[in-house]
Structure 1
Amino acid sequence: MPRVNLTKKYTKMYLLLFILTFAAEFAFGYYLTCIRGYVAGDAISRVANAFYISHSRHPHLAAIGFVWNPLPSLIEWVWLWFWPIFPKLASNALAAVLTTSLFAAGTVVLLLQNLIRFGLPTPLSVLFCILYALNPFLFLYGANGMTEVMFTFFLVATVTSLSRWLEDEASRHIIMLSMALALAFLVRYEAIPLAAAAGCSMLIAIFFIPSKHISRADNKASFKYLRSEGSIIVALTPFVYTCLIWIFLNYMIMGNPFFFFNSNYSNLSFSEALSGNDQFSRMIGNPVNIISYVAFKSSFFSVPLLIIVLFRLVTRKLLQWDMLIFIGILLSIPALQSVMLYKGTSYGWLRFFFYIFPIMAAWLPYEIVRLKLNAKFVLSVHLIGLVVTGALVAYAMSDPSRASEEYDTFNYGKNYNEQQIAKQIAQYINDELPDDLILLDSFTDFQVIVNTNKPSNLVITSDLDFLKILANPAEFQVSYILVPPPIEGGLINAINKQYPSLYEHGGHWVTLEKQFEDYRKLYKVIGAVDSGMQQP
């Protein structure tokens, strides 16, 4: 690999690109959340998990929850120490916007650093990174506070480390890869197929790609075995250790080592309603429909892949072991989504299929050097590819049938309306019930929680005595209960599970205080619950 010294010139360029990208992302994120008033549901959910750690009725670290990976909320928790001064850090998820803006900027710098380390032309490399950052999808997710861009940072770090190792076989790249994989798992579970693909890639490289740095005499099967053993141990041990620690914490605190996977609040439970959706029910158990769906969703991000394949065909290097490595990494995350669609546990949103785009961007410098092509020409072709990809993605995002979440961001869809009602509920609590103890399930009502002035007056799911209070609210001086309709996420709501007829029919121990459209009912507790009303 051509080695380029990181001179002060490059350091300043990295810093400038980081600052400009961060400023643009955060400005757009602030506009979305604080001016337009739209906050991505998953973004504010992660902020809420961080919020419970220090601002709930029972502050403790385990309040972060054990369903979603903890790193995003742990980082956002740092910003939330300033919540008393700037409440919008929680209510408008600005803590998440700050975090994703930093990771989006860091990803662009990683890509530029990789391009320069491989000796590619600096001006075209900078332009490549700018066009990458301005891709409508990536720019939106760098600003909306969701975890996709955070995971992308570690995904890019993984792929760049792997490609550098393939080029010069330096052990430092394996160490970087191992750290990236471990941290990726702490952001999203897609790190699991990524780690499997990275491990298989290293084995393929060691056993089938001739080493440039080991003599033929020493490159025997026994040596390859020892080399593969050591490399895989270094690459995957931090990742495996991180997974095991997460499973152990789930067991130790929640009593179920796979609480994150199969609990009432897990994605597995939440996605049960998919079987009633015509679009997704047709894919359950049907590989043909799944392949068609995954290919369609991925096609909006696939122009760089077509360009890479075209150059491989022209140079007659398509059927090479390193191309198999690239395809394996590329398909690892879509393969997971395919399995989930097959079992009916994925909503198949567009954001689950964009990861092939940053993988291709991270892999590209290796491709150019490996094929020994004219770097300026190849990069110029890929710049055109980035523009075309941006246009395709913008088209997809303008159609709710292709990109429902992204479309809702700019067209005030269902999520926006629910957020406005949640704010109305919080405002009612702040104005009319400022000192009353209110019971609610944070899984469905996190948007209410982060908008209240006194979250310490709310009995929420992470409180240590939540189940006891849920069984008999009056005994613990609970004044009100907030209940969602028993549909979609409301089916999982702990209050609905305990009192399945409460929303529709109420009870002798409560009286309806206020109804917020068809979104929530607020009941006032007027007496004790009969034992017959409780669920086992």
Structure 2
Amino acid sequence: MGDALARVASAEAVLHSRDPHLAALGFIFTPLPAMTQLPVLAFSPLLPELTRFGLSGIIMSALFMAGAVYQLSGIIGDRGITGWPARLLVAAFALHPMIIIHGANGMSEAAFLFFLLWAVRLLARWYHSDDPNALAIAGIALAGAYLTRYDAVIVAGSGILAVFLVSLTRRGLRLPAAALLDAIIVGFPFAVAFAMWSGASWLLTGDALAQFSSQYGNTAILEASDVPTISAAEGLVFSLAEIMVLTPALPLLLPIAFVMFLARRERELIIPVAIVASVLVFQVIAFAQGLTFPFLRFYICAIPLAILLALHLLPRDSVPRPRRRGRFGGPPAALPRSRSWGIAGILLVCASLPVSLWGLTDRTLATQHYALTAIVAPGVAERLGIQHEAQAIIRAFSTERRIARFLDSQSLPDGSVILDSVYGFAITAASENPKQFVVPSDGDFVTILNDPAGNDVRYILAVPNEDRGATDAVNLRYPTMFDNGSQIATLELEAPNDGANQPPWRLYRVMPTS
């Protein structure tokens, strides 16, 4: 996917660009998914496929998704659930097609799920032990979630509020200062991460929240993209359909879990609701307000939420031994031992897998995923009539790789080609000579863009000045570059794009100054 490859290109620029520096990561995405790739990308000069095909991103997402499976297994083990119920719950998560896909595509969802499940696990430990160590580590998990995805702000807010309310309730609504202290413990790492990342962005770019104010951010992309306007009701219906595709069991598990919450006093349910369900609520509201794209991956948290709800229908058999038990910690109250509701919940989440697998072939509900059908099951793609358009999606960035090979064959010196990263990230990532490019993260980018000939630039890569291309820095400086070279360059070659939703490219040779 484009975002995954863009992160790879940003991380490569930190180490191997003509102006290597840590701020080359950029401030549109939060930094952790790209930063964790740096040790792997140190070897990209020896193994160019690490960047050309985004393999470093795939390694990152695979490790984080394995960590998410580990944390879910730990949550189940902490409740004392063993045997076939535990194995089925872990398998229902690990073998879900959406989890497999996002463990293998370099996107940020894997890391986000890892940190969310880590936070759930530690907050559950704190709930039963009142152990401040668990509370502090949960705060670190929330900070990691924020450094992975911006919507973790909602997670952190709801998690901090849940800790405050639980702590206040334990004290019989007395000693609010003590409850506030618990909230500060869990919220402090997140606050530090937020302040440091926003502060660094403001100091280096002038934008504290570049994702929302930059020409490369989400708001600018939405404005430049051809996203149809829908009503709030239509947005709500679409979001619910997305959730149903991922886990049809969730609408059935929610009322059952609520009944069990009241009947068994399973108050620990407040934790997965605060941490995981809050993301879903935010995404539903954001899409209904036209603030996000209709992407299935934005609702991926529905998968662990359904499994956690099914888990809580099973009676707890034990609690983990705390490092340090607090004043309000202790074994849980005796609960009814019936397992029938829990078994029903496990069967529901397992039965959802075939439905989700089929839903991923739908071009409307799974716009970013249905093309995989042409790879995994080409016969099914033919029967569904999606083979042709799926192949166009699969060919995404093949044109950019050919352009990179052409430029590499020219043996150009450093700083010979100027392009913006709006679409150009796929070219820089595919090149074996990233130093030949002048990109926006370079400190002298604006200076060179204003006078390409005077700075020994040989080529300018241009895309049409429309849609997202209208935010391209080359088009902002030279609005007619794609059409006629803006009187500073002559057309060298044109490359129609083979990939779906990707622009054609024109390579212009810069005319020397007289």
The TM-score, its normalising length taken from structure 1, stands at 0.83
In 2: Cα distance, 1:455 partner to 1:239 partner: 35
Q: In the alignment, what sits opposite 1:350?
A: 296
Moved more, 315-324 or 350-359: 315-324
Inter-CA distance 315–56: structure 2 relative to 1 (3 Å threshold): closer
In 2: Cα distance, 1:503 partner to 1:45 partner: 23
Q: In the alignment, what sits opposite 1:466?
A: 445
Residues 1:396 and 2:396 are matched in the alignment:
no
Q: In the alignment, what sits opposite 1:32?
A: none
Deviation at 1:454, TM superposition (A): 1.1
Deviation at 1:164, TM superposition (A): 2.8
In 2: Cα distance, 1:146 partner to 1:315 partner: 35
In 2: Cα distance, 1:76 partner to 1:391 partner: 33
**Which sections of structure 1, spanning at least 5 residues, go unmatched?**
1-39, 212-218, 530-536
Moved more, 160-169 or 149-158: 160-169
Secondary structure of the 2:315 match is: helix
Q: In the alignment, what sits opposite 2:185?
A: 234
Native 8 Å contact 2:261 2:269 kept in 1: no
Inter-CA distance 145–151: structure 2 relative to 1 (3 Å threshold): same
**Which sections of structure 2, spanning at least 5 residues, go unmatched?**
317-333, 375-389, 498-503
Inter-CA distance 447–479: structure 2 relative to 1 (3 Å threshold): same
Residue by residue over 1:236-269, the C-alpha shift from the partner in whole angstroms, topping out at 9 and shown as x without a partner, is 0110111011111011111222223211111111
Native 8 Å contact 1:160 1:363 kept in 2: no
Moved more, 125-134 or 163-172: 163-172
Native 8 Å contact 1:337 1:348 kept in 2: no
Native 8 Å contact 2:313 2:342 kept in 1: no
In 2: Cα distance, 1:453 partner to 1:80 partner: 13
Q: In the alignment, what sits opposite 2:344?
A: 381
Q: 1:257 aligns with which of 197, 201, 208?
A: 208
In 2: Cα distance, 1:123 partner to 1:338 partner: 34
Residues 1:247 and 2:226 are matched in the alignment:
no
Native 8 Å contact 1:124 1:376 kept in 2: no
Residues 1:428 and 2:406 are matched in the alignment:
yes
Residues 1:53 and 2:14 are matched in the alignment:
yes
How many residues align? The count is 474
Amino acid at match of 1:282: I
Secondary structure of the 1:514 match is: strand
Residue by residue over 1:312-337, the C-alpha shift from the partner in whole angstroms, topping out at 9 and shown as x without a partner, is 43685399865566544444213332
Q: 1:299 aligns with which of 237, 241, 244?
A: 244
Residues 1:340 and 2:286 are matched in the alignment:
yes
Q: 2:174 aligns with which of 203, 209, 222?
A: 222
Moved more, 176-185 or 380-389: 380-389
Native 8 Å contact 2:64 2:114 kept in 1: yes
Q: 1:109 aligns with which of 54, 57, 70?
A: 70
In 1: Cα distance, 2:465 partner to 2:263 partner: 57
Moved more, 344-353 or 236-245: 344-353
Q: 1:503 aligns with which of 455, 475, 482?
A: 482
In 2: Cα distance, 1:414 partner to 1:350 partner: 20
In 1: Cα distance, 2:471 partner to 2:96 partner: 36
In 2: Cα distance, 1:321 partner to 1:127 partner: 24
Native 8 Å contact 1:121 1:376 kept in 2: no
In 2: Cα distance, 1:88 partner to 1:445 partner: 17
Residue by residue over 1:251-293, the C-alpha shift from the partner in whole angstroms, topping out at 9 and shown as x without a partner, is 111122222321111111111135x533xx013xx3x223222
Secondary structure of the 1:67 match is: coil
Q: In the alignment, what sits opposite 1:480?
A: 459
Amino acid at match of 2:482: Y
Secondary structure of the 2:509 match is: strand
Deviation at 1:159, TM superposition (A): 1.6
Deviation at 1:131, TM superposition (A): 2.6
Native 8 Å contact 1:69 1:187 kept in 2: yes
Q: 1:273 aligns with which of 220, 224, 229?
A: 224
Q: In the alignment, what sits opposite 1:282?
A: 230
Native 8 Å contact 2:311 2:342 kept in 1: no
Amino acid at match of 2:409: D
Residue by residue over 1:399-433, the C-alpha shift from the partner in whole angstroms, topping out at 9 and shown as x without a partner, is 11110101123434554333111111111112245
Q: In the alignment, what sits opposite 1:14?
A: none
Superposed counterparts of 1:302-321, under 5 Å: 302-304=248-250, 306-307=252-253, 309-310=255-256, 312-313=258-259, 317=263
In 2: Cα distance, 1:360 partner to 1:147 partner: 21
Deviation at 1:154, TM superposition (A): 0.3
Q: 2:60 aligns with which of 85, 92, 99?
A: 99
Deviation at 1:74, TM superposition (A): 0.6
Amino acid at match of 2:371: D
Amino acid at match of 2:210: F
In 2: Cα distance, 1:261 partner to 1:42 partner: 16
Q: In the alignment, what sits opposite 2:320?
A: none
Secondary structure of the 1:119 match is: coil
Secondary structure of the 2:30 match is: coil
In 2: Cα distance, 1:78 partner to 1:362 partner: 34
Deviation at 1:158, TM superposition (A): 1.4
Amino acid at match of 1:272: E
Amino acid at match of 1:277: V
Moved more, 460-469 or 503-512: 503-512
Inter-CA distance 170–368: structure 2 relative to 1 (3 Å threshold): farther
Greater share of residues in helix: 1
